[in-house]
Amino acid sequence: MKSIFLRNFIATALLVFISFLIIAVAFVGIGRSYVISDYRKGMENSAREVARTAAAIARGDSLSSWVLRMSISSIGQSTGDHVFIADDAGVIVSCSDRTPVCEHMGQQLSQELIAQIGERPYDQLTDLGGLYHSRRYVTAMPIIAPEGGTLLGYAFVSNQVDKMLDAWSTFLMIATVVGVGVFFAALLVTLIYSRHMTKPLDEMAAASRKFARGDFSVRVPQTEDPTDEMGALIDSFNKMADSLEQSEQRRSEFIGNISHELRTPMTTIAGFADGILDGTIPPEDERKYLISIRDETRRLSRLVKEMLGVSQARARAADLSHRSVFDISELIVQTLLSFESRATKKNLDVDPQLPDNPILVWADKDAITQVIYNLLDNAVKFAAPGSCLILKLYKDNGKAYVSVKDFGETIPPDDLPFIFDRFHKSDRSRSMDKEGVGLGLYLVKTIINSHDEDIAVKSEDGMTEFVFTLPLAESTKQRDKNEQQRMV
């Protein structure tokens, strides 16, 4: 099967060849006609000059004078034409041939031919009734005396077609060589351009074969303008490769994390079950160990559920189609209402410091709801009873800032750098759930980072504060507008 490169090259080469062929045919045909037409005009001018010269010389001499013959011989030699003069009866009396005895002298031209020579120049392709051995272009004009307008004779100028085209043939040969050179140069340019155009396709095909083998690290170099078709295709292909690589990474991470977290509880469950079955564990202790097996099983169930939730939330947050413009103030209030009973139970004083005017952001509303819920759940859980819980919202430098602050147990300095890591838990640190698997804050950071934003934590002197940012809707629209103007 022929490659796209070969098909494209053959099609372009064929197009160039046909174009050159059409141009060559037109050039040869039109050029030949133009050369002959131009030469015949020159012959007409020569015939007019010979007639004028003959009329002037005939005033003091005859048309058969040696002076006239030398004059027309010079004209014939300079123009390359054959020139002769006939008297009013059609008898040739002077010729441009320099031979002492000219074969044309004294020959009689037919009266029919003489009758065709009038005021307009005679211009025909003829052998003049056998005067010439082959057909020639012949131009003839009457010789009129300056005084009285008497017809003195006729001036004839002729030339062979081959001689007329000698210069044209030389020019045509040069033009042919140049044309062939240009044709092969065009083929070379076509070859290079076709190769250049198909190279990204070859690279994409090679990358696709590596994808099929599980290697998602390869990318196609962006050598084209991203605004044209090929550049857009390369950009889309690389984005697809990024998505596939991220999906593969998430899958590998998910399997690795599941394997890591499942190993301990499954070993515990298997060990207790074997102990009960083989009698190692006394019958009176079986209930205690069965309860441990139940608790480990439920922990496994929570682990799988949370891991699936992290993977789904991570994939959803990265999908731009789920993002929309919404009021973050309203979302905070709605999420805060779900903690009303828990805050009342711990006698917490909730202080929502929200602006009077709406603050519109562009984000995944469901994902941000999960972020706020997780942070509020963490704050309520670890806030000291009777303390204060502060939610603050403000905007600065094109971003919305959301702060969740509580007062109570703080995060140890040693654990603070790892608080957002997966499965990071400590009896002293504030994980999302002391009975959980350490994925709550990891999920929060994952969602915020997928929006190309940041989250930070500060915990000291009995106060812990989480602050994250979101892009303002008006800033996002202005950024998109500036990007469109830049591309235009």
Which pLDDT belongs to residue 26? 80
Amino acid at 371: V
Which pLDDT belongs to residue 160? 82
Judge if 334 and 380 occupy the same domain. Answer: yes
Which pLDDT belongs to residue 202? 78
Judge if 301 and 349 occupy the same domain. Answer: no
Asked if 317 contacts 450 with a C-beta cutoff of 8 angstroms, the reply is yes
End of a domain among 167, 185, 205? 167
Judge if 461 and 353 occupy the same domain. Answer: yes
Instruction: Please give, one letter per residue, the 3-state secondary structure of 400-428.
Output: EEEEEEEEECCCCCCCHHHCCCCCCCCCC
- Output the domain CATH number for residue 243: 1.10.287.130
Q: What tokens does 273 get?
A: 């079950």
pTM above 0.75, yes or no: no
Which pLDDT belongs to residue 197? 74
pLDDT confidence bin for 5, thresholds 50/70/90 = low
Which pLDDT belongs to residue 375? 92
Higher pLDDT, residue 392 or 255: 392
Judge if 145 and 55 occupy the same domain. Answer: yes
Higher pLDDT, residue 433 or 341: 341
Q: Is the pLDDT score of 226 beyond 70? A: no
The structural domain count of the chain equals 3
For range 409-413, the mean pLDDT: 85
Domain that holds residue 97: 39-167
Q: Is the pLDDT score of 477 beyond 70? A: no
Judge if 329 and 467 occupy the same domain. Answer: yes
Which pLDDT belongs to residue 431? 43
Higher pLDDT, residue 398 or 119: 398
pLDDT confidence bin for 476, thresholds 50/70/90 = low
Give 293-299's long-range contacts (Cβ < 8 A, gap of 24+). Answer: 293/268, 293/269, 296/265, 296/268, 296/269, 297/265, 297/269, 299/265, 299/435, 299/437
Which pLDDT belongs to residue 488? 45
End of a domain among 118, 150, 167? 167
- Output the domain CATH number for residue 92: 3.30.450.20
Which pLDDT belongs to residue 475? 65
Q: Each residue of 184-224: pLDDT tens digit?
A: 888 888 778 777 777 777 777 888 888 778 777 788 787 66
pLDDT confidence bin for 247, thresholds 50/70/90 = confident
Judge if 259 and 395 occupy the same domain. Answer: no
Q: Would residue 215 count as lying in a domain?
A: no
Judge if 347 and 261 occupy the same domain. Answer: no
Amino acid at 378: N
**Helices in 59-80 by DSSP H: which ranges?**
66-79
Q: How distant, in Å, are the alpha carbons of 135, 313, 410, 427, 446 from that of 384?
A: 122, 30, 10, 17, 28
| Residue % of the chain over a pLDDT of 90 | 17
Which pLDDT belongs to residue 471? 92
Asked if 20 contacts 175 with a C-beta cutoff of 8 angstroms, the reply is no
pLDDT confidence bin for 361, thresholds 50/70/90 = very high
Judge if 308 and 327 occupy the same domain. Answer: no
Q: For the chain, percent helix, then strand, then coil, each to nearest 5?
A: 55, 20, 25
Q: How distant, in Å, are the alpha carbons of 99, 378, 429, 453 from that of 421?
A: 114, 16, 12, 17
Query: For the chain, what is the mean pLDDT?
Result: 81
Which pLDDT belongs to residue 150? 85
Q: Each residue of 33-88: pLDDT tens digit?
A: 777 777 888 888 888 888 888 888 888 788 888 888 888 888 888 888 889 999 88
Q: Is the pLDDT score of 121 beyond 70? A: yes
Q: Is the pLDDT score of 388 beyond 60? A: yes
End of a domain among 315, 330, 348? 315
Q: Would residue 11 count as lying in a domain?
A: no
